């Protein structure tokens, strides 16, 4: 009697699973019918769509996933479709559609992508911070409060801090030049940008250039690595061989948030004691939590979301841009010579660089812009399509994600002639302005808040480097790009350096 009941239950359970699976397959079939008029590569399988090709690209040592997107854009045109299970992404490289969607606040960030960054392998990570807040009102309240810490007047007042941090790098390079030690430029500029963000944003001096293996620096790197694995490979956490790395990423996330907690507490105490505190990013973070007027625990979590956000958004991106710029200059002696000549003319032997000096370094700005064209260190963004739209004559029904890859757009021949050539002339004042096909800092309301901050910092470091040292790339190293959440040079950019006479 009992075994008969067990049999019935098992039968009904199996029937329920089968019906659910059938329903899911029918739903996927419906999505295929809805979007298959949009061109795209053939699916690897009915159920998983293009997942297999995408996963292969994520784990490939030689190719970037963005190169696969570029190859597909060249083959299938400026609007194409990618399927992963029941999730449809439309890749778009039409300037008009880029303008319509990115410039409008009505197209919110894709919740499916950005909510995944709320936690990292189960630990709260970017939460509802500025990058990941999807709800427009919640995002806008934070952005409005944060803006003063990025106003040009405030940023101009930071020049001496940027200068002081860059001088530490110059001291380190001088030491290495004297010892004839090759410099791994990526590691060095990484320390500088981390020192800058800690000092400028949070009033803390870590002095990483003079420390070895800082746990804090490793934590930022681990979080970035974990971020792409968690977002791009939904099956990563299922394999026991990955559990050790997952645990390390979880600990790294915790370290960042614990550090944030400590620094926030210190600042609160300073304010309470009536100390004079800077109007920096940390002050604005405290203010934003106050205005949200939520209870204490939520309050702290919200502040920590933005604390982590500024590390993730503001540090590696700038360090990677600097190392790509050094790599590009090392590979293009004529451009190097011209940039150095400009620096020598504007700065001479001057040690302390002013805002006016930076303004005069126009060719160096072009070099930095061209660096981000060929090597956009944060290479894309997604929006959610909540209403039907026609792109390039193709109807795109609502209910899917739209992805904009600056890496692809900025390497398409139709927008940038001879796209693999590093050519700062593309950004000469008299050259035609790129029309919604160049967006290394994203576009529209969700554009990068730290763009001016980052370019000030990058220009100052690069100017000092060109003024004081001659550098050449150590032969035999790779010029490939590594995808670690942000794009960075695989080799680390190893240089022989010599002090300028």
The residue behind tokens 């003024």 is: 467
Phi, psi of 122 (to 5 degrees): 90, -10
Residue with Cβ nearer ligand HEM (35 or 407): 407
* 191 labeled part of a ligand binding site: no
Judged by DSSP in three states, 499 sits in strand
Phi, psi of 82 (to 5 degrees): -130, 135
Please, is 194 exposed, middle or buried when counting C-beta atoms within 10 Å of its C-beta (0-12, 13-18, 19+)? buried
Residue with Cβ nearer ligand HEM (158 or 176): 158
Q: What is the DSSP letter of 61?
A: S
Quote the CA–CA distance of 234 and 227 in Å, as a whole number.
12
Quote the CA–CA distance of 364 and 372 in Å, as a whole number.
13
- In the complex, what is the shortest distance from the CB of residue 390 to ligand HEM, in angstroms, rounded to a whole number? 24
- In the complex, what is the shortest distance from the CB of residue 195 to ligand HEM, in angstroms, rounded to a whole number? 13
- In the complex, what is the shortest distance from the CB of residue 434 to ligand HEM, in angstroms, rounded to a whole number? 15
- In the complex, what is the shortest distance from the CB of residue 99 to ligand HEM, in angstroms, rounded to a whole number? 16
Listed residue (453, 465, 481) closest to 189, CA to CA: 465
Question: Residues near 360 by Cβ (< 8 Å), separated by ≥ 6?
Answer: 346
Residue with Cβ nearer ligand HEM (289 or 372): 372
Where on the chain is the footprint of ligand HEM (CB under 6 A)?
130-131, 143, 309-310, 313-314, 317-318, 321, 372, 377-378, 381, 440-442, 446, 448-450, 453-454
Residue with Cβ nearer ligand HEM (453 or 471): 453
122 torsion bin: left (phi>0), alpha (psi -120 to 50), beta (else): left
Which residue has the closest beta carbon to ligand HEM? Answer: 450
Residue with Cβ nearer ligand HEM (43 or 464): 464
CA distances to 130, 132, 285, 317, 445 from 143, rounded to whole Å, are 7, 12, 10, 20, 10
Quote the CA–CA distance of 80 and 179 in Å, as a whole number.
53
Phi, psi of 149 (to 5 degrees): -70, -5
- In the complex, what is the shortest distance from the CB of residue 168 to ligand HEM, in angstroms, rounded to a whole number? 18
Residue with Cβ nearer ligand HEM (39 or 95): 95
Residue with Cβ nearer ligand HEM (282 or 353): 282
Give the residue ranges of DSSP H helices in 233-242: none
Quote the CA–CA distance of 358 and 460 in Å, as a whole number.
7
Question: Residues near 137 by Cβ (< 8 Å), separated by ≥ 6?
Answer: none
Quote the CA–CA distance of 487 and 397 in Å, as a whole number.
32
- In the complex, what is the shortest distance from the CB of residue 389 to ligand HEM, in angstroms, rounded to a whole number? 19
- In the complex, what is the shortest distance from the CB of residue 27 to ligand HEM, in angstroms, rounded to a whole number? 28
Would you list which residues are annotated within the binding site for heme? 448
Would you list which residues are annotated within the binding site? 448
């Amino acid at each position: 009697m009992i075994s008969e009941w067990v049999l019935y239950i098992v039968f009904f359970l199996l029937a329920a699973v089968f019906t659910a699976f059938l329903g899911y397959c029918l739903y996927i079939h419906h999505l295929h019918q809805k979007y298959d008029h949009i061109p795209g590569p053939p699916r690897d399988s009915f159920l998983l769509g293009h997942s297999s090709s995408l996963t292969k690209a994520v784990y490939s040592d030689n190719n970037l996933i963005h190169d696969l997107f570029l190859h597909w854009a060249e083959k299938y045109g400026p609007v194409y479709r990618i399927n992963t299970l029941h999730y449809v992404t439309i890749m778009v490289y039409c300037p008009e559609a880029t303008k319509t969607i990115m410039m409008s606040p009505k197209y919110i960030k894709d919740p499916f992508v950005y909510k995944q960054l709320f936690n990292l392998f189960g630990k709260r990570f970017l939460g509802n911070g500025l990058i990941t807040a999807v709800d427009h009102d919640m995002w806008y309240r934070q952005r409005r409060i944060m803006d003063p810490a990025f106003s040009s007047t405030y940023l101009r007042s930071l020049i001496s801090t940027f200068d002081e941090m860059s001088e530490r790098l110059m001291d380190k390079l001088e030491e290495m030049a004297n010892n004839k030690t090759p410099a791994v430029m990526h590691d060095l500029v990484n320390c500088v940008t981390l020192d800058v963000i800690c000092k400028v944003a949070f009033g803390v001096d870590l002095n990483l250039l003079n420390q070895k293996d800082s746990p804090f620096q490793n934590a930022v790197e681990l979080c970035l690595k974990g971020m792409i694995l968690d977002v791009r490979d939904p099956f990563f956490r299922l394999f026991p061989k990955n559990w050790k790395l997952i645990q390390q990423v979880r600990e790294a996330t915790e370290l960042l948030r614990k550090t944030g907690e400590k620094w926030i507490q210190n600042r609160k105490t300073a304010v309470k004691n009536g100390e004079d505190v800077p109007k920096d990013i940390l002050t604005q973070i405290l203010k934003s939590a106050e205005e949200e007027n939520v209870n204490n625990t939520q309050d702290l979590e919200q502040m920590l979301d933005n604390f982590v956000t500024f590390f993730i958004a503001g540090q590696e991106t700038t360090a990677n841009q600097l190392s790509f710029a050094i790599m590009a200059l090392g590979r293009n002696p004529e451009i190097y010579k011209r940039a150095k000549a400009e620096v020598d003319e504007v700065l001479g032997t001057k040690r302390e660089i002013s805002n006016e000096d930076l303004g005069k370094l126009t060719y160096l700005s072009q070099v930095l812009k061209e660096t981000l064209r060929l090597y956009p260190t944060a290479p894309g963004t997604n929006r959610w399509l909540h209403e039907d739209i026609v792109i390039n004559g193709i109807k795109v029904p609502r209910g899917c994600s739209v992805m904009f890859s600056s890496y692809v757009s900025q390497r398409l021949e139709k927008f940038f002639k001879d796209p693999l050539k590093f050519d700062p002339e593309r950004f000469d004042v008299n050259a035609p302005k790129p029309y919604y096909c160049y967006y290394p800092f994203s576009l529209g309301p969700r554009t990068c808040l730290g763009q001016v901050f980052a370019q000030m910092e990058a220009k100052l470091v690069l100017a000092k480097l060109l003024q004081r040292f001659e550098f050449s790339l150590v032969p035999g190293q790779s010029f490939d790009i590594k995808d670690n959440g942000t794009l960075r040079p695989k080799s680390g950019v190893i240089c022989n350096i010599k002090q300028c006479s």
